[in-house]
Structure 1
Amino acid sequence: QQELQSLVRMHQLSVKHKVAYGNQLCSLLLEFNIKLSPTDTGLNSAIQSILEDAENGFSAIFRDALHTAWHQYLKSIELVKHYEQSVARASRASEACKNLMKIEGVGPTNAVNLYIALGCCELGVFKKARDAAACIGLTPIQHSSGGKVRLGSIGKNIRNSSLRANLVAGAMSAVNQAVKRDSRTKKDEWIKGLVERRGKRCAAVALANKTVRTAFSLLRNGTEYKAELLAA
């Protein structure tokens, strides 16, 4: 579990470096009034155009520095991919993570993150699955007074916002897949009904909440996840 946590930390740091390099390159080019798309393709197109245009007025020193910065950015992209592959291999080597990846919207990264947050070393902290979901920030905040219970939006000030963001992103992918195809499981029907009533965003958060509770139960009881299929 400590090795998995270290892999996740290295991956997160590499992502931060990649984003920082990209943002700096975009900002520097904007100071020269060069507007570009913030995507990798847009940034690559703009920099290649600058380096190939010999009549744009940029000095050889600046071109060399820009070329070096661009290659540093490309190296950061490769580093992110390398750590993603490492996390994927580690998740496939763990029986608990392989079981978690059977849950809708849970890939290698989310499986490892859930195992770290809810694994054997942490389960004793939470008495119920709801407590685990609340700790991650996937339950509504209570505004109770005078015996009246009022539920607001999900909390924003949480310890591990990246875990929640990844879970919601994975859940959104599962929601998009569920609404495009015919229902295969009871969870598909539940997702479609929730999308009709509240929209995709609320459905994704609700699914992420359910994912955490399901993962908590699987890890605590040592059971295997099996989607409940619809009757033929």
Structure 2
Amino acid sequence: MKNTIVGVDLAKDVIQVCVYASKKVQSNTEMTHHEFLEWLFTSSSTTVVFEACGTSNYWKQKATEAGHAAHLISADLVSKIRQNQKTDKNDALAIVQASMLPDISFIKGKTIEQQQLQTILRLRELSVKQKTASGNQLKALLLEFNIRVSARNGGLGGVIESVLEDAENEFSAAFREALHTAWQHHLSIIKSIAIYDGCLEELVEQHEDCKRLLKLEGVGVINAVNLYIALGCADLGSFCKGKDASACIGLTPIQHTSGGKVKLGSIGRYVKNSLLRSQLITGAMAVVAQVCKRTAVTSKEVWIQQLVARRGKKIAAVALANKNVRTAFAMLTQGTEYKADPVAV
């Protein structure tokens, strides 16, 4: 079984399992989730390759628990390798073929702890979007009655409260009830965001890696969790160097090399996790803004001030975010602590 490769195409209801050994396909069968789980724990140790998709982290964890060498492979790469029409059998075979390419880079999986943190982050992100959408809708609907929301009249809450208490504005009881319900819904979304923040802070206190990442400039709870999920532990990481992780996040210039000529452009506009890059740059921008207002006390702050003087605050923020990712990668892989060097007197 050492030379056997098993390609697994995951679906909601069924799982396609392609077994490749002795230079030919031994079987390519469909299994239920229960049958596949039983197969994992009854089969001899082998290499099992999953297409990275929904539930792939769970099945990778189960395959590893059963003693197999489990890997995740890019769905985009599998689609390029697939030779015939898209079927479950062809997908499972393409997974096997893609896994045998030279210098293949597998996708790292997530631990249960990382999945929990990611779930809370996703719930928080959705609530933040809902809060913005709900607030904008209330402001726009009130504007239809020429009721304008501003900080001088108490903001959205103050305006809605005055509308509900004003008995002479000719609004019906049904309209007042609907407006009150919409406002309570908006408040419940705000409350849910606070609850998610509290859950993240509680979990960060339980993770030593996340707590150490909080010492980096411009890295708060959310950025610490994002870096922990993106970079992971040393045995799970798919990056060899910190610069590879930074390039994957989209914090390095795009390189186009041809005929021995190297051209470096701007950072990529389109990346897979643009929200992570945005949050890292936002945190770094806050640090840059504060450092420019006072005397530098660390060598990194001196570097930031010099970079701002040469290239401006925005480029300095991107450079700081890039440096934070590289430092975080070194901290997670080597188990080291971060301590800023003071300015030499």
TM > 0.5 between the two? yes
The RMSD of aligned alpha carbons is: 2.0
Per mean C-alpha deviation after superposition, the further-off stretch among 151-160 and 220-229 is 151-160
Indicate the structure (1 or 2) with the bigger Cα radius of gyration.
2
The CA deviation string for residues 189-215 of structure 1, in whole angstroms up to 9 with x for no partner, is 000011111211111111011111110
User: Secondary structure of 1:124's match?
Assistant: coil
In the other structure, the counterpart of 1:67 is: 180
Contact 2:234 2:333 in 1 (8 A): no
1:221 counterpart (325, 331, 334): 334
Distance 1:211 1:95 in 2: 17
1:150 to 1:30, Cα distance in 2 relative to 1, 3 A: farther
The CA deviation string for residues 140-185 of structure 1, in whole angstroms up to 9 with x for no partner, is 2234455433322222211112111111111111112212222111
Comparing both structures, which one devotes a greater share of its residues to helix?
A: 1
1:82 to 1:7, Cα distance in 2 relative to 1, 3 A: same
1:71 to 1:197, Cα distance in 2 relative to 1, 3 A: same
Matching of residue 137 in structure 1 with residue 250 in structure 2: yes
In the other structure, the counterpart of 2:202 is: 89
Flag the structure with more relative contact order, 1 or 2, with Cα contacts below 8 A and sequence separation at least 6.
1
Per mean C-alpha deviation after superposition, the further-off stretch among 89-98 and 175-184 is 175-184
Matching of residue 181 in structure 1 with residue 294 in structure 2: yes
- Deviation at residue 134 of structure 1 after TM alignment: 1.4
In the other structure, the counterpart of 2:313 is: 200
Per mean C-alpha deviation after superposition, the further-off stretch among 8-17 and 169-178 is 8-17
Q: How does 1:34-45 map to 2 (within 5 A)?
A: 34-37=147-150, 42-45=155-158
1:121 to 1:12, Cα distance in 2 relative to 1, 3 A: farther
Matching of residue 53 in structure 1 with residue 176 in structure 2: no
Distance 1:125 1:191 in 2: 30
Give the ranges of 4+ consecutive aligned residues of structure 1 lying more than 4 Å apart after TM superposition.
143-146
Unaligned ranges ≥5, structure 1:
none
Counterpart AA for 1:64:
E
Unaligned ranges ≥5, structure 2:
1-113
Question: In the comparison of the two structures, how many residue pairs are matched?
Answer: 231
1:56 to 1:86, Cα distance in 2 relative to 1, 3 A: same
Counterpart AA for 2:163:
I
Q: Percent identity?
A: 59
User: Secondary structure of 1:141's match?
Assistant: strand
